[in-house]
């Protein structure tokens, strides 16, 4: 979903530099409001997974962003959602002969030439597909926190270890960051399990909605179950909360992709701990309004 709101309106309403929002450990379990996470950055207002998208989230005072990490042909980690480059860049124009334009078939230098902003709007022309290194620098600069998704790990053997190495080199695996600045998630249970085994102190989330009877097995390696929002119900959220995750705390639930105020309020009523959204302003207003 793509929602356009004039920057001036957003800025006037929230104020640049507004307070960064709640920690990931705030949540419905204690009666708090859910954490709001900007999906692929504030992707309703800026091209997804670009530095512009996380800057937009920061300008709106949103402290949590989500991204997608994959790998180039020459082994660089980059932030992009699709396994191919054609939806969100001008790769077809620059490299017409390279169909199907898979991320893993292009070098980092080639990907750095692509325009990852124009598809979304002319004013974003020239935005780039960031390397994970560049992206982490910007998240840190913005004092933001990150839900990092390892995307399509079956295509990139060893991507878990490589990602953690990079995070470690940028200082993201110290105690402070591990406590409340970083969550690593994947649709691949094997990948989440690997992250947990490599670095047990990292908080992790499985993307999906396991059957209630299977939840206990997931709670051995995942601190959270992050589910597509239409699959959630109040009883399901209670079942998840009843379990203890690998860090001894109740397993949490984040819902995605919640872009409507009524859905945000309904899910808050279910007791979810976080709402992942393309339009963090809409969701934040919905869950904080009296
Ligand atoms: O964070 C949840 C969400 O990102 C999962 O779906 O396809 O947007 O990566 P997708
Ligand atoms: Ca994602």
Say if residue 35's pLDDT is above 50: yes
Identify which of 68, 147, 183 to mutate to test ligand 1's pocket (most ligand atoms within 8 A of the CB).
68
Given a contact cutoff of 8 angstroms between Cβ atoms, the answer to whether 66 and 40 are in contact is: yes
Q: What are 168-213's pLDDT values in tens digits?
A: 999 999 999 999 999 999 999 999 999 999 999 999 999 999 999 9
Ligand 1 center to residue 61 CA distance, Å? 21
Query: Alpha helix locations (H) across 71-157?
Result: 91-94, 108-112, 132-141
Q: What are 232-254's pLDDT values in tens digits?
A: 999 999 999 999 999 999 999 99
Distance between CA atoms of residues 22 and 287, nearest Å: 13
Query: Which residues have CB under 6 Å of ligand 1?
Result: 39, 66, 68, 81, 149, 207, 226, 256, 276
- Report the half-sphere exposure of 204 (CA within 13 A, side-chain side): 29
String of b and e for 122-156 (b: at least 16 CB within 10 Å)? eebeebbbbbbeebbebbeebebbbbbbbbbbeeb
Please report which ligand is nearest the Cα atom of 69. 2
Q: What are 60-101's pLDDT values in tens digits?
A: 999 999 999 999 999 999 999 999 999 999 999 999 999 999
Residue 290's pLDDT is 73
Ligand 2 center to residue 162 CA distance, Å? 18
Dihedral sign for Cα atoms in the order 253, 257, 260, 262: negative
Ligand 1 center to residue 149 CA distance, Å? 8
Q: What is the mean pLDDT of residues 144-154?
A: 98
Tokens 């292009």 found at: 106
């Amino acid at each position: 979903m793509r929602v356009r709101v004039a920057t001036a309106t957003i800025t006037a309403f929230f104020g640049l530099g507004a307070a960064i929002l709640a920690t990931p450990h705030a949540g419905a379990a204690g009666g708090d409001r859910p954490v709001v996470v900007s999906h692929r950055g504030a992707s309703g207002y800026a091209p997804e997974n670009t530095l512009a998208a996380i800057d937009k989230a920061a300008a709106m005072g949103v402290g949590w962003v989500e991204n997608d990490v994959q790998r180039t042909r020459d082994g660089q980690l980059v932030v992009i959602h699709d396994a191919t480059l054609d939806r969100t860049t001008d790769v077809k124009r620059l490299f017409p002969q390279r169909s199907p334009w898979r991320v893993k078939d292009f070098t980092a230098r080639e990907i750095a030439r692509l325009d990852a902003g124009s598809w979304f709007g002319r004013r974003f022309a020239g935005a780039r597909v960031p390397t994970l290194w560049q992206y982490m620098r910007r998240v840190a600069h913005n004092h933001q926190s990150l839900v990092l998704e390892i995307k399509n790990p079956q295509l990139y053997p060893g991507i878990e270890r490589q990602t953690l190495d990079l995070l470690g080199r940028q200082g993201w695996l110290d105690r402070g960051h591990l406590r409340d600045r970083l969550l690593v998630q994947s649709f691949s249970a094997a990948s989440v399990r690997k992250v947990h085994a490599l670095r047990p102190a990292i908080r992790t989330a499985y993307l999906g909605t396991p059957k209630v009877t299977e939840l206990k097995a997931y709670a051995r390696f995942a601190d959270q179950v992050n589910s597509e929002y239409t699959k959630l119900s109040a009883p399901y959220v209670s079942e998840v909360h009843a379990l203890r995750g690998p860090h001894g705390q109740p397993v949490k639930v984040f819902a995605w992709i919640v872009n409507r105020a009524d859905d945000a309020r309904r899910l808050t009523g279910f007791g979810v701990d976080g709402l992942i959204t393309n339009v963090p302003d809409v969701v934040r207003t919905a869950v904080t309004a009296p």
